[in-house]
Amino acid sequence: MYKADLKRYEKMEYRKCGESGLKLPAVSLGLWHNFGDTGNFENMKAMCRTAFDLGITHFDLANNYGPEAGSAEKNFGKILKDDFLPYRDQMIISTKAGYTMWEGPYGDFGSRKYLIASLDQSLKRMGLDYVDIFYHHRPDPDTPLYETMWALSDIVRSGKALYIGLSNYDGERMKEASKMLYDLKCPFVINQNRYSIFDRGAEKSGIIDASISRKKGVIIFSPLAQGMLTDRYLKGIPSDSRIKTDGRFLKESSLTEERLGKIEKLNEIAKERGQSLSQMALSWVYAKEGVTSVLIGASKASQIRENVKMLENTSFTDEELKRIDETAL
């Protein structure tokens, strides 16, 4: 029977989601990759145990994580039942709906029909009565924003989620949604967006500044740019890398000579800081004003242990930040 490390909370830093009372760990574990039907279940269990023992209380899912869609939630539900039910009240479990989940006109985007049905399915797969955070996964251009926000508010009122989050929204649309959720007295606390040394889209879209102005938290996904902000590709592409095993997101063509040259230079800056490249990349995101937590993915427990070490150095000099920008952009 799994028993969590008694000193786990001494190993992690926690920040509030904006002005809310909810705190998230500096590092959260995303189950986007390696938790579907193609993964090894014992390895999944080992990663969740390692994460929790390091003080990672937040586990982030979505209805369509797999492959196949829904399988990550199903596998996580088994892990919860086997290991974590005694710790449920010490965990933050989130899921999302917004991308295509099933056939027909009711299986994606942001209608009331889809969101409520999807969350019911997610709860069943995980064996839960509620999730801590339920996200709308992407804006819907065809459904009135108020319908989506009203559905999210009613989901909280039903007791099936404690808090609401928005994912992949830009600053202006988030402000509009935030006003609606405030009027509905719905606890909207966090935005989830992509951001990294290589990808500054969250700055350009205004979501970070808008989150600060609206006193909402920000959690970042893909802080390692799908693995490019690591040293694993500097000596070639490993046979077990995501490029070789799952080319849906990171493609071999992305690793141009120019990009590899930038990775090499960033790796040298990280060495000077006494960090691995992945640790520096995570620290860089976490040091950004307004950021609450960084979401990491992993294929093995050792990667989680390595990445959490980023907390040993989360400050940057102006010169370091300048060198990183000059190298990456």
- Going residue by residue through the chain (329 aa), what tens digit of pLDDT does each one get? 899 999 999 999 999 999 999 999 999 999 999 999 999 999 999 999 999 999 999 999 999 999 999 999 999 999 999 999 999 999 999 999 999 999 999 999 999 999 999 999 999 999 999 999 999 999 999 999 999 999 999 999 999 999 999 999 999 999 999 999 999 999 999 999 999 999 999 999 999 999 999 999 999 999 999 999 998 888 766 655 555 555 555 666 678 899 999 999 999 999 999 999 999 999 999 999 999 999 999 999 999 999 999 999 999 999 999 999 999 99
Residue 155 located in a structural domain:
yes
DSSP string, 309-321: GGGG-----HHHH
Report yes or no: 36 and 68 within 8 Å, Cβ to Cβ. Answer: yes
Q: Is residue 2 part of a domain?
A: no
Sign of the CA dihedral with 140 first, then 146, 151, and 156 last: positive
d(CA 23, CA 21): 6
As given in the structure block, the two tokens for residue 206 are 């205004």
On whether residue 3 sits in a domain, the answer given is no
> Whole-model pTM above 0.75?
yes
Q: Does 1 map to a domain? A: no
* 109 domain residue, yes or no: yes
CB neighbours of 177 closer than 8 A, spacing ≥ 6? 145, 148, 149, 166, 169, 188
The Cα–Cα gap between 46 and 79 comes to 10
* Single-letter amino acid, residue 168: N
The answer to whether residue 202 sits within a structural domain is yes
Q: Which domain holds residue 174?
A: 8-328
Residue 244 DSSP code:
H
**In this structure, are residues 57 and 322 in contact, taking their beta carbons and an 8 Å threshold?**
no
Helix (H, G, I), strand (E, B) or coil at 13: coil
pLDDT in tens, 265-291: 999 999 999 999 999 999 999 999 999
- In a domain? residue 64: yes
Tokens representing 120 are 């019911």
The verdict on residue 219 lying in a domain is yes
214: which residues sit within 8 A by CB, 6+ positions away? 18, 174, 175, 178
Distance CA(217)–CA(65), nearest Å, equals 23
CATH number at residue 322: 3.20.20.100
Which tokens belong to 266?
Answer: 């960033």
Do 47 and 88 touch, CB atoms closer than 8 A?
A: no
Identity of the amino acid at 22: L
Give the number of domains in the chain. Answer: 1
